[in-house]
A and B are shown apart, each in its own frame.
Chain A
Amino acid sequence: KAGVTQTPRYLIKTRGQQVTLSCSPISGHRSVSWYQQTPGQGLQFLFEYFSETQRNKGNFPGRFSGRQFSNSRSEMNVSTLELGDSALYLCASSWSDLGETQYFGPGTRLLVL
């Protein structure tokens, strides 16, 4: 069974631009979560989707948004990029939203110049 895939793997943007990251969960998984990882802040929760509905949201500004499609694929969008948005963005999928083990993708490394 294929693992979680994320595209693109690397991205360079400039301040003020927007970016969309994509995540394809493991087949059959209906829950997708997004995390931001930085050396200073560690792993921070962005949001969680289950069956196209946002279940949980972390403490990030409204510039960060996401959605989930009927095939469980998910996208997250960051508008008006800031230098501090440079990070590794990780997507994780699980079969359900009830504390099941999350399986992580390789991440998208975003660099904002």
Chain B
Amino acid sequence: AQSVAQPEDQVNVAEGNPLTVKCTYSVSGNPYLFWYVQYPNRGLQFLLKYITGDNLVKGSYGFEADFNKSQTSFHLKKPSALVSDSALYFCAVRDIWAVRDDKIIFGKGTRLHILP
């Protein structure tokens, strides 16, 4: 069965510095990988996804993610953090080739604090 881990409950970054939010996954087949962001009292908003192709995926609001198959990681990155990036970030994985078990699995989330 597929699984996803976000090893950090919280990440603190100074405004203007680069940020990284970590995600590792485990699937038996080829993964579809997603990043979502959640602001207080809101649903999840889609940031980016990896299905196939270039390992560096560019998404919304200047975010990008680096797919590394050998390390089974899909870390979220941004070159220069903004205070408005402070939110809860979720990584998700789906193994669409898993017979009868291809549901999307979400990580527990990482709370990102951007310090002014």
Please indicate the chain A residues that have their CB under 8 angstroms from the CB of B107 in the complex: 42
Which of A14-22, A61-69, A71-79, A96-104 is found at the contact surface with chain B?
A96-104
Contact, CB under 8 Å: A102 / B103: no
Contact, CB under 8 Å: B106 / A43: yes
Contact, CB under 8 Å: B103 / A56: yes
Q: List 21 A-B contacts (CB under 8 A).
A: A33-B103, A33-B104, A42-B106, A42-B108, A42-B109, A45-B104, A45-B105, A56-B101, A58-B103, A90-B43, A90-B44, A92-B44, A98-B96, A99-B32, A99-B51, A99-B102, A101-B34, A103-B46, A104-B44, A104-B45, A105-B43
Q: Among B42, B43, B101, B109, find the residue whose CB has the most chain A CB atoms closer than 10 A.
A: B43
Q: A43 with B43: in contact, given A58-B103, A99-B32, A99-B51 (CB under 8 Å)?
A: no
Q: How many residues of B contact A (CB 8 A)?
A: 23
Tell me, in angstroms, the Cα distance from A101 to B106 when the chains sit together: 13
Contact, CB under 8 Å: B43 / A107: yes
Please indicate the chain A residues that have their CB under 8 angstroms from the CB of B109 in the complex: 42-43
Please indicate the chain A residues that have their CB under 8 angstroms from the CB of B105 in the complex: 45
Verify if B49 is at the interface (C-beta below 8 Å from A): yes
Contact, CB under 8 Å: A99 / B94: yes
> Closest residue of chain A to B30, judged by CB?
A99
Please indicate the chain B residues that have their CB under 8 angstroms from the CB of A48 in the complex: 103
Contact, CB under 8 Å: B90 / A43: yes
Q: A101 with B49: in contact, given A56-B101, A56-B102 (CB under 8 Å)?
A: yes
Q: Shortest beta-carbon distance, B7 to chain A, in Å?
A: 14
> Closest residue of chain B to A107, judged by CB?
B43
> Closest residue of chain A to B100, judged by CB?
A56
Q: Mark B63-105, 1 if CB is under 8 A from A, else 0.
A: 0000000000000000000000000001000101000011111
> Closest residue of chain B to A44, judged by CB?
B106
Q: Shortest beta-carbon distance, A77 to chain B, in Å?
A: 20
Tell me, in angstroms, the Cα distance from A104 to B45 when the chains sit together: 7
Q: A4 with B43: in contact, given A42-B109, A101-B49 (CB under 8 Å)?
A: yes
